[in-house]
Every structure is written in structure tokens, then in C-alpha cells.
């Protein structure tokens, strides 16, 4: 049968004669979280040149298209904003660093580190993923931190500490559900409470943690009260 005959012959014929084709060029690659197949995958970043085709042969340039992100596993194309979402590996690392930084900040604010505080902190940091973290390591880090900033223990949250907290928490906050953000603050609160009631310096640090996690101050107050009630 000749092309173009049959019920849909005309449409078939036109699409064979005229069409557009996109030639993709790879402009980068990396790892991302693929929302299509749901996991950490390799991707290629592509830009495309669209051309009119005549009988399958590219004839007229139709301009640039993309850039798009192509998943190496499922071959789906996504907008580049898909790269804003951290990979599972990166997300776990951010979470781990966040808990570690909060623990150090609260310990540093608490003054001389009581054994119970160090134990609570080390246990939180281990559950967050630093499985080898010990009480002594944390104690040594807190001392180094104090020596480094020249800060006297017990003074209000220093500016450098606040910067560290924001660096660890700001990029994480948008990717956490409210309960996840609250959980980090609660862990900090329990470390602060391990050696007795909150000191003003500990409250300061926890307020900074709350702000960096985009928890409003009323909720911070509520959570700090809730942390005092053993669950």
C-alpha cells in the first residue's frame, strides 16, 4: 500500500513529510533525586536545538530548547529546578551535620559540659548518622570551639556560633516537614535539659536554632516547654 492511503492516510503522510526534531547536547552531569523513578540517579543536563524536518531531514533551525535534566535510569526529562531537591545521600549528610552542629552549640552554651549533657548529645549525634561519635570527642570539640572563638563558657550565643547554625540549618529547613524541623529543635532542647533547667545562653542558642529552622518564636517557646515534660 502506498503511503497516504487508508483512513488516517493524510495525517500520517503529513507527519512523515514535515516534523520537528530535537537534537540534544549534553552540557553537564551529576547526581540528583529523580522524582520519576524515586531515588538517587545520575543525570545529564541537556540543551536542545529544534529543527523543522522535511522527509525526516532537518532543514530549518527552530531555536534552542531546554535546558532539561534527563534521568539516566528512566530517561524522563525534567526542568532544571528538579536539581534544587537534594539527593537522599546529600539530605542524610545535611541532617547529620545539622544535629551535630546543634549539639555542639547547645553544649558550648551550657558552660562546663556535664557528663549527662555529653551523653545525651552523643546519643543524638549517633542516631543522626555519626555512628562513631563519643562523649569525649564532643567534649574535645566544645573545648576547641571555646578556645577558637575566645569565648568564655556561659556567655550568650556568639556571632560565629550563630553563623555556624545558620550554615548548617538554612539549606536543610526547606526540605524538612514541620515535624522534622521540630525534632531537631527538641533534640537540642533535651541536650540543654540534661544537666538541669535551661540557662539564658542555652535559650539563646535554641532560639537561634528555631529561627534557622524557620520555626516561629511562639512554636519555639511551646517546644521548649514540651521538651521539659518527659515523654
Q: Does the footprint of Zn ion cover residue 72 (CB under 5 A)?
A: no
Minimum distance from CB of 27 to Zn ion (Å)? 19
Q: What is the rounded (10 degree) CA torsion for 213, 214, 217, 223?
A: -50
Neighbours of 192 (CB within 10 A): 28
Neighbours of 121 (CB within 10 A): 30
Q: Which CA distances in Å does 210 have to 42, 175, 183, 187, 214? A: 34, 15, 11, 12, 6
Indicate the SS3 state at residue 128: helix
Give φ, ψ of 48 to 5 degrees. Answer: -120, 150
Q: Does the footprint of Zn ion cover residue 36 (CB under 5 A)?
A: yes
Q: Which of residues 146-165 bind Zn ion (CB under 5 A)?
A: none
Please identify, using beta-carbon distances, which residue of 83 and 141 lies nearer to Zn ion: 83
Q: Does the footprint of Zn ion cover residue 71 (CB under 5 A)?
A: yes
Minimum distance from CB of 147 to Zn ion (Å)? 48
How is residue 197 annotated by DSSP?
S
Q: Does the footprint of Zn ion cover residue 68 (CB under 5 A)?
A: no
Among 12, 73, 114, 183, binds Zn ion (CB under 5 A): 73
Only segment of 12-20, 23-31, 33-41, 175-183 that touches Zn ion (CB under 5 A): 33-41
Q: Does the footprint of Zn ion cover residue 74 (CB under 5 A)?
A: yes
Among 32, 33, 34, 138, binds Zn ion (CB under 5 A): 34
Among 11, 14, 23, 37, binds Zn ion (CB under 5 A): 37
First to last CA, the chain: 78
Give the residues lining the site for Zn ion (CB under 5 A).
34, 36-37, 71, 73-74
Amino acid at each position: 500500500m502506498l503511503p497516504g492511503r487508508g483512513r488516517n492516510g493524510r495525517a500520517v503522510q503529513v507527519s512523515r513529510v514535515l516534523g520537528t526534531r530535537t537534537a540534544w547536547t549534553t552540557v553537564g552531569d551529576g547526581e540528583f533525586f529523580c522524582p520519576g523513578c524515586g531515588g538517587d540517579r545520575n543525570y545529564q543536563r541537556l540543551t536542545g536545538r529544534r529543527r523543522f524536518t522535511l522527509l525526516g531531514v532537518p532543514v530549518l533551525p527552530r531555536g534552542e530548547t531546554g535546558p532539561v535534566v534527563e534521568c539516566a535510569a528512566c530517561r524522563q526529562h525534567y526542568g532544571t529546578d528538579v536539581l534544587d531537591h537534594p539527593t537522599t545521600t546529600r539530605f542524610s549528610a545535611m541532617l547529620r551535620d545539622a544535629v551535630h552542629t546543634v549539639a555542639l552549640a547547645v553544649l558550648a552554651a551550657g558552660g562546663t559540659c556535664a557528663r549527662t549533657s555529653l551523653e545525651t548529645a552523643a546519643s543524638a549525634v549517633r542516631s543522626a548518622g555519626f555512628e562513631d561519635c563519643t562523649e569525649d570527642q564532643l567534649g574535645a570539640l566544645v573545648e576547641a570551639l571555646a578556645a577558637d572563638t575566645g569565648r568564655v563558657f556561659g556567655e550568650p550565643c556568639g556571632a560565629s556560633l550563630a553563623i555556624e547554625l545558620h550554615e548548617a540549618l538554612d539549606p536543610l529547613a526547606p526540605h524538612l516537614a514541620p515535624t522534622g524541623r521540630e525534632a531537631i529543635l527538641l533534640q537540642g532542647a533535651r541536650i540543654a535539659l540534661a544537666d538541669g533547667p535551661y540557662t539564658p545562653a542555652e535559650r539563646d542558642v535554641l532560639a537561634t536554632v528555631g529561627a534557622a529552622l524557620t520555626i516561629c518564636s511562639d512554636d519555639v517557646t511551646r517546644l521548649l516547654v514540651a521538651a521539659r515534660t518527659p515523654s
